[in-house]
Amino acid sequence: MAKTVLIVDDDPTQRRLIGAVLEREGFSVAQADGGEAALDRVATGLKPDVVILDLVMPHTPGLEVLKSLRAQGFGAPVIVLTATGGVDTVVQAMQAGAQDFFIKPASPERIIVSIRNVLQMGQLTAEVDRLSKRAVGRTNFDHLVGSSPAMARVKALGRRAAKSSIPVLILGESGVGKELIARAVHGESERAGKPFVAVNCGAIPENLVESILFGHEKGSFTGAHEKHSGKFLEASGGTLFLDEVGELPLDMQVKLLRALQEGEIDPIGSKRPLKVDVRIVSATNRDLASQVAAGRFREDLFYRLNVYPIEAPALRERREDVPALVEAFVRRFNIEEGKRVAGASPATLAMLTAFDWPGNVRQLENAVYRAIVLSDDPHLQPHDFPSISGLSSPSPVAETPILEGSAGLAQAEAPAGPVNVLDEKGHVRSLEEVERDLIQLAIEIYAGHMTEVARRLGIGRSTLYRKVREQGLEGGLTEAG
């Protein structure tokens, strides 16, 4: 999704010039002609990603606007403008919470570099905060991306579960993010900050399940060269997340049931049971009721785990969350890979939203990761997702020389160009058909960069977008220009 920049300046010329620079780079622009108008826009729901704020304005100076925004908890980065460049003024603005400044008139390059820098710094800060909270077991439901009705239900149920010690069973297909929900339940519970231990029951060799879960004493079996505490003791005081619990062997289900009922475990080779204080959150992609009917899962354990079920929706059931997920993954992988991708183009987001994602959020995450690594454009394009779009990366297009026809050459004998003006019978094609082919050719030549396409065709961007919609040419576009 395009980032929104709010330009606050009482000079309409400055607003127009800066706005043109930002729109050319694919940003969405909002404007306010003074400090009071800016505060009103933010108060009435505008949530800009960056604010460009003039310091010298009548009625409400920029410094007062900045202090008021920060006092209200407005956390987006603010870049201040100044015509004088006075050191004292800039220092006061920085102390009040501005992230950068530039002196008017600023070059387009300076404006764009400043905005990209503050956005990247904000992304880095948010990612550090997310990782820090995850490391100390304080992930919460605000960290779960998505505002669809399906995710709203998950968050509401999860928050209620977090207020008690009730056993939670998270149901859903592989890749929907069941572990993230479990971490959020832990992070909003009284056990937040205590250990969160995740175990994938389906990935443990059958002969090691008992030792890994419940531990063993040194010498209790061949190869037991030292004592091992086991996952239950590791999670003592916190939460044990049993992922794919339906994969547990039947004999281990018996020991798990005893641990849940008695609050104690029997490590292999131990002479006495050990008390444990562990909250159990389990998850499965199987239909446990069917497993019980088939005799592959204990009925008593099923009822013990299935006290408070939470259904995690498949990604195809919450398509409206795809753009927000893409944005979150782009932000994360930009930091991890040292890239500066601004986001995904509208055509790309439409394509990703329409896809069914059989592998759910995990598949989307991996697809965005690959696209980020391979993309050279400011915005991700459909061809960056070849397994979904069926498109390959476009080859560089050589400059096409202009062919000058002789004035006396008959039209039918004119050299054939990429866009034919004659049909198969030699008749002139309709203007609408020729226009469609010409726009399509320009989009292909300039790799979907709509600013350049509009400039080459000699029309405005809004006119170009209208014609693209009317002609059904939305595929392969980008907001980058």
Model pLDDT, residue 170: 97
Interatomic CA distance for residues 386 and 366, integer angstroms: 13
Q: Where is 170: in which H helix or E strand?
A: strand 168-171
Model pLDDT, residue 232: 94
Report the DSSP pairing between strands 343-344 and 379-380. parallel
Q: pTM for the whole thing?
A: 0.66
Read off the tokens for 215: 């531990």
Residue 217 neighbours by CB distance under 10 Å: 15
Which residue blocks in 306-339 are alpha helix, DSSP H? 322-337
Model pLDDT, residue 480: 45
Separation of CA 92 from chain center = 35
Model pLDDT, residue 426: 66
Read off the tokens for 383: 């061809």
Q: Where is 261: in which H helix or E strand?
A: helix 250-262
Return the bridge partners of 216, or none. 228, 268
Model pLDDT, residue 475: 57
Domains and CATH numbers, the chain: 4-132 (3.40.50.2300), 141-313 (3.40.50.300), 318-389 (1.10.8.60), 394-401+417-481 (1.10.10)
Model pLDDT, residue 228: 86
Q: Which of 349, 318, 369, 330 lies closest to 172 in space, CA to CA?
A: 318
Read off the tokens for 260: 């849940």
Category of 85 on φ-ψ map: left (φ > 0), alpha (ψ -120 to 50) or beta: left
CB 333 within 8 A of CB 123: no
Interatomic CA distance for residues 227 and 267, integer angstroms: 10
CB 35 within 8 A of CB 60: yes
Sorted by sequence, the CB contacts under 8 Å of residue 469 that are 6+ apart come out as none
pLDDT in tens, the chain (481 residues): 678 999 999 888 888 888 888 888 888 899 999 889 999 999 988 989 899 998 888 888 888 999 999 888 888 899 988 876 567 777 888 888 888 888 877 788 888 888 888 887 777 777 677 676 666 667 889 989 999 999 999 999 999 999 998 999 999 999 999 999 999 999 999 999 899 999 999 899 888 999 999 998 887 887 777 888 899 999 999 999 999 999 999 999 999 999 999 989 988 988 888 999 999 999 999 999 999 999 999 999 999 999 999 999 999 999 999 999 999 999 889 888 888 888 898 899 999 999 999 999 999 999 999 999 988 888 899 999 999 988 877 655 444 443 333 333 333 333 334 577 777 766 777 888 888 888 888 887 776 777 788 888 888 877 887 888 787 776 555 544 4
Model pLDDT, residue 226: 85
